[in-house]
Structure 1
Amino acid sequence: MSSPRSDRTAAVAPAVAVLLVAVVIGALVGTWPPFVAVESGSMTPAVERGDLVVVTATDRAPWGDLAAATDPDAPERLGGAGDVVVYAVPGAGGRPVFHRLAFHVDAGEDWTERADQDLLSGDCAELTTCPAPYDGYVTHGDANELYDQSAGIAPVVREEWIAGKALFAVPNLGWARVGVDAAAARYGGVATAVVVVGIAGLAGGVGALVVGRVRHGKRR
């Protein structure tokens, strides 16, 4: 007959295993959390909404420093040349952006001269992000019609705003995170946390019940 303690251990073991895997991956890639759940289709077709992306620190060996799409010998990342990064504009209040580094710009540069003209909404005089106010990056979602700096998504992206860069994506594993974030935005973080904890407890209880019955059946 199984003991209550062993049943509790069986219930929490999967969660502990997932946490340990996340900690190990975080130690390897040098950033936390080491995963990003993709919430939009701006990086299709290589990365779809609901995919889970493993990210690393921008200076983590052996993946090297940041590389833009136009850099010589730029690495292939998620279906294209150059690093795909997670960045957030301080004080903007929006969610982090997951887009590709198109090219690096220097302070005072008219970066539209080097840009793909099909991804611009106007010339330098018509863009608030041009000339570049400081050193940084022009960025772009692979599926978007314009650069972020031309579409008004973000100013020129400073390197210190970049939280990590993508290594690879796992299809559909990010839907749980997307769902939690959407619920938190609609109902609030506390209410969402209560529901998530309740679901986790229910799942653990069901798992412990199933494990207990299987063990009981084997001993009969």
Structure 2
Amino acid sequence: MSDTTWLQRAASALAAFRESDRPVVSLARDLLWVVAVVGGIALLLYLFAGTWPAVVTIESESMVPNMNVGDLVLVVDEDRFGGLTTWVEGQRIGHSSFGDYGDVIVYRPNGADSVHPIIHRAMTYVDTAAVEESGLGQYYEDPHGGYITRGDNNPYIDQGNLRISGVGVVEPVKKEWIVGKALFAVPLIGYLPLHLVEFAVIVILIILIHDFVLARRKEKEE
């Protein structure tokens, strides 16, 4: 009996929340709807891509002209839709993506979570302590094996040349540091996440104006 009463009260409260004309309640309904839609999209992206984040925004010109600032890139698990292919392997088997051989990967530099991940092309994989990169014309002594990476618009590989504050010189990318590989990019859409706060403010203002207009219209009808 108590369970039935509790369910009845919950259903009554939900119906009142859904049908209320109070501005605060109406705003809360709209915001919950937005959160539900965004959450649903995020869940679908995760199920499809198998990784998180499933999308990243290009914030620098290191991958120009194949990726540009403001592009929104879908990132999938490195082994989804085929294994990860490096630039050297891509030349041999004819595999290319984003205008050049091999795959573009998103990785955490030196495994650090304190800085933004880097999205660069996987050039080759090394497993020795010192190696002269075949086809790259560059020599690098590395503390461990991993992927050698480079931005398409950069003259040098990341390893031994790219230094990040708080992280140090970028080392060969261990497999566990890889977030995923880039599948495709949508131009300009990435500007939205770059200005997420401003966008959220605009959405809330639109919702408030919409509710105000509806309330005034209802007052005139009454």
Pair in the same fold by TM > 0.5: yes
Q: Which runs of 5+ in 2 are unaligned?
A: 1-19, 164-169
1:51, CA displacement in angstroms?
A: 1.0
Query: Which string of whole-angstrom CA distances, capped at 9 and with x for unpartnered residues, describes residues 81-135 of structure 1?
Result: 21111111234843211100011112234233x1423xx4xxx3xxxx42x3322
Give the alignment partner of residue 97 of structure 1, picking from 111, 115, 118. Answer: 118
CA distance in 2, matches of 1:163, 1:47: 18
Q: What is the match of residue 154 of structure 2?
A: 144
2:216 paired with 1:206: no
Query: Which string of whole-angstrom CA distances, capped at 9 and with x for unpartnered residues, describes residues 154-200 of structure 1?
Result: 211111111111110011111132235xxxxxxxxxxx6xx776554
Partners of 1:84 and 1:98 within 8 A in 2: yes
2:75 paired with 1:65: no
Q: Which runs of 5+ in 1 are unaligned?
A: 181-191
Structure 2 vs 1, CA of residues 115 and 161 (structure 1 numbering), >3 Å: closer, same or farther?
Answer: same
CA distance in 2, matches of 1:207, 1:173: 25
Instruction: Tell me which of the two structures has the higher relative contact order, counting C-alpha pairs closer than 8 angstroms and 6 or more residues apart.
Output: 1
What is the identity, as a one-letter code, of the residue corresponding to 1:65?
Answer: G
Query: Which string of whole-angstrom CA distances, capped at 9 and with x for unpartnered residues, describes residues 43-94 of structure 1?
Result: 111211111101011223xx12211011142532222221111111234843
1:208, CA displacement in angstroms?
A: 4.1
1:138, CA displacement in angstroms?
A: 0.8
Structure 2 vs 1, CA of residues 54 and 92 (structure 1 numbering), >3 Å: closer, same or farther?
Answer: closer
What is the identity, as a one-letter code, of the residue corresponding to 2:187?
Answer: P
Name the SS for the 1:148 alignment partner.
coil
2:95 paired with 1:85: no
1:201, CA displacement in angstroms?
A: 2.8
Deviation larger for 90-99 or 30-39: 90-99
Identical pairs, percent: 32
Normalized against structure 2, the TM-score is what?
0.71
CA distance in 2, matches of 1:40, 1:58: 22
Partners of 1:11 and 1:205 within 8 A in 2: no
Partners of 1:10 and 1:207 within 8 A in 2: no
Q: What is the match of residue 39 of structure 2?
A: 19
**CA RMSD of the aligned region, Å?**
3.2
Q: What is the match of residue 50 of structure 1?
A: 70
2:128 paired with 1:107: yes
CA distance in 2, matches of 1:67, 1:157: 14
CA distance in 2, matches of 1:207, 1:14: 15
